[in-house]
C-alpha cells in the first residue's frame, strides 16, 4: 500500500462507515502551503500529499535538466521554439486535432487503445476551470474532487512566482488501488482506464489508502447547501432552494444514470476521475480538456502514432510523478 494516507485507516463497517482521525500532515519545517477556505478547501489533497507530489515534480524536473547536455540559454531557446510552433500551426486550437484523434481511436477495438493525458505545466495558469468543470460534469458533492490544482509559491522575495500542478487520477498501468479491493469493485479496463463499480463497492476505502497520489475520495452523502449560513434563525444563503434542487440532479458516470439519494450509490462509495469515460463512449473529449482556457491539457491514444499525445510524449521535457513506485502512471507532465 502507498504511504500517502498513513494516518487514515480504512473503515470496515460498510458504505456509511466513517473514517478514523487522520494524523497531522507531515509538512517540512519552514514550508508554506497555500491557504484555502470553503469550496476550494474541499477540493485539495491533504497537505502531506501535496508536498509529496510537489517534491516529485521538482525531482523529476531537475532530473530532466541534469540529463540534458544543454546550457540554460539553449533550453530557453528550445522552450521558445516549441511555443512558437504551437502558435504558428495551421490550426492553433488543438481541440480540433484531439477530436479527430479521438474519433480515430474509437474506431479501433478497446484493447488496441491506450488512453493517456498530457498536462503542460508551462501553460497552466492555475485558474481551476478544469476542477470546477469536473465538479459540474460529474455532479460532485463536498469533499469529492477528481482533479484538484495544487499551488506552490517558489523563489525568494522579491523574485517569487507560483506554479500549478493539476492532479487527476493517474490511471496507472500497475495500479496499487485495484488489488486491495476485497470485492473486486475497482479494476483497469482494456483501454487503461481504472474504474469503480458503484454497485459493488462496499465503502471500505482500502483503495483510498493504497493510492499514493491521493486520487480517490469518499462520498459521505453531503451537500453544499447543508452548510448554509444561518444567523439568528434567519437564512442568509441566496438561492438555496434552487441550489438544493440542482444538487439532486443525476449524474451519468460510466454511462449510467445515478440519482443521488442517501441510501443509494454513489453515496457511500469511493469515487475518482475516470477520464470522463461516459463522454469518451459518446465521442467527446474529457470535460477538463475542453474547458482548459490555456489549452494546457491534452488527451488521446498513445498507441496512435499520428495522435497529438504520441507526439508530445516524444518531447524530452515529458515527466511522470512518483515513477520510482513502479505504478506506471498514464498522466504525463511537460515541464
Condensed to tens digits (0 to 9), the pLDDT of residues 233-292 reads: 555 566 777 777 888 889 999 999 999 887 889 999 999 999 999 999 999 999 999 999
Q: What is the pLDDT of residue 226?
A: 77
* Residue at 5 is within a domain: no
Per-residue pLDDT, averaged over 169-185, amounts to 97
Condensed to tens digits (0 to 9), the pLDDT of residues 315-330 reads: 888 999 999 999 999 9
- 66-70, 87-91, 125-129, 212-216: range with lowest mean pLDDT: 87-91
Whether the per-residue pLDDT at 333 is higher than 70: the answer is: yes
φ/ψ (deg, to 5) at 207: -65, -30
* Residue at 137 is within a domain: yes
Q: With H, G, I as helix, E, B as strand and everything else as coil, classify residue 116.
A: strand
Integer Cα distance of 298 and 167 in angstroms: 14
Q: What is the pLDDT of residue 262?
A: 78
Condensed to tens digits (0 to 9), the pLDDT of residues 8-20 reads: 223 333 333 333 3
Q: What is the pLDDT of residue 131?
A: 96
For the chain, where are the E strands, in sequence order?
A: 115-120, 149-156, 159-166, 186-188, 194-196, 216-218, 230-231, 234-235, 270-272, 297-301, 318-319, 331-334
Integer Cα distance of 133 and 326 in angstroms: 31
Integer Cα distance of 215 and 197 in angstroms: 16
* Residue at 78 is within a domain: yes
Q: What is the pLDDT of residue 252?
A: 93
pLDDT classification of 84: cutoffs 50, 70, 90 = low
Q: What is the pLDDT of residue 21?
A: 34
Q: What is the pLDDT of residue 312?
A: 95
Q: How many domains does the chain have?
A: 1
Condensed to tens digits (0 to 9), the pLDDT of residues 38-75 reads: 444 445 566 677 677 777 766 766 665 555 555 556 65
* Residue at 241 is within a domain: no
Query: pTM here?
Result: 0.74
* Residue at 304 is within a domain: yes
Integer Cα distance of 224 and 97 in angstroms: 37
Integer Cα distance of 75 and 80 in angstroms: 9
CATH of the domain at 287: 3.30.70.20
Q: Which domain holds residue 306?
A: 38-141+148-178+186-195+273-334
* Residue at 48 is within a domain: yes
Strand partners, 187: 195
* Residue at 83 is within a domain: yes
* Residue at 239 is within a domain: no
Amino acid at each position: 500500500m502507498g504511504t500517502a494516507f498513513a494516518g487514515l485507516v480504512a473503515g470496515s463497517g460498510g458504505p456509511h462507515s466513517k473514517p478514523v482521525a487522520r494524523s497531522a500532515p507531515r509538512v517540512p519545517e519552514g514550508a508554506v502551503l497555500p491557504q484555502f477556505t470553503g469550496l476550494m478547501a474541499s477540493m485539495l489533497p491533504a497537505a502531506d500529499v501535496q508536498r509529496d507530489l510537489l517534491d516529485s515534480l521538482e525531482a523529476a524536473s531537475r532530473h530532466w535538466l541534469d540529463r540534458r547536455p544543454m546550457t540554460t540559454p539553449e533550453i530557453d531557446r528550445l522552450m521558445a521554439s516549441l511555443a512558437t510552433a504551437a502558435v504558428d500551426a495551421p490550426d492553433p486550437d488543438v481541440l480540433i486535432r484531439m477530436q479527430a484523434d479521438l474519433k480515430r481511436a474509437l474506431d479501433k477495438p478497446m484493447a488496441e487503445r491506450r488512453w493517456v493525458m498530457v498536462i503542460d505545466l508551462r501553460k497552466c495558469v492555475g485558474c481551476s476551470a478544469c476542477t470546477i468543470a469536473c465538479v459540474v460534469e460529474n455532479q460532485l458533492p463536498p469533499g469529492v474532487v477528481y482533479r484538484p490544482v495544487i499551488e506552490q509559491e517558489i523563489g525568494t522575495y522579491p523574485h517569487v512566482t507560483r506554479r500549478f500542478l493539476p492532479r487527476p487520477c493517474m490511471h496507472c498501468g500497475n495500479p496499487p488501488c485495484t488489488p486491495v479491493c476485497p470485492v473486486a469493485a475497482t479494476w483497469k479496463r482494456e483501454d487503461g482506464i481504472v474504474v469503480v463499480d458503484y454497485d459493488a463497492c462496499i465503502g471500505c476505502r482500502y483503495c483510498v489508502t493504497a493510492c499514493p497520489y491521493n486520487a480517490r475520495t469518499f462520498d459521505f452523502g453531503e451537500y453544499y447547501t447543508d452548510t448554509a449560513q444561518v444567523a439568528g434563525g434567519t437564512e442568509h444563503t441566496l438561492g438555496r432552494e434552487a441550489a438544493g434542487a440542482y444538487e439532486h440532479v443525476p449524474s451519468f458516470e460510466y454511462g449510467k444514470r445515478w440519482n443521488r439519494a442517501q441510501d443509494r450509490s454513489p453515496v457511500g462509495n469511493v469515487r475518482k476521475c475516470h477520464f470522463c469515460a461516459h463522454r469518451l463512449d459518446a465521442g467527446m473529449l474529457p470535460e477538463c480538456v475542453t474547458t482548459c482556457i490555456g489549452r494546457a491539457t491534452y488527451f488521446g491514444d498513445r498507441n496512435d502514432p499520428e495522435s497529438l499525445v504520441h507526439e508530445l510524449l516524444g518531447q524530452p521535457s515529458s515527466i511522470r510523478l512518483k515513477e520510482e513506485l513502479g505504478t506506471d502512471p498514464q498522466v504525463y507532465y511537460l515541464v
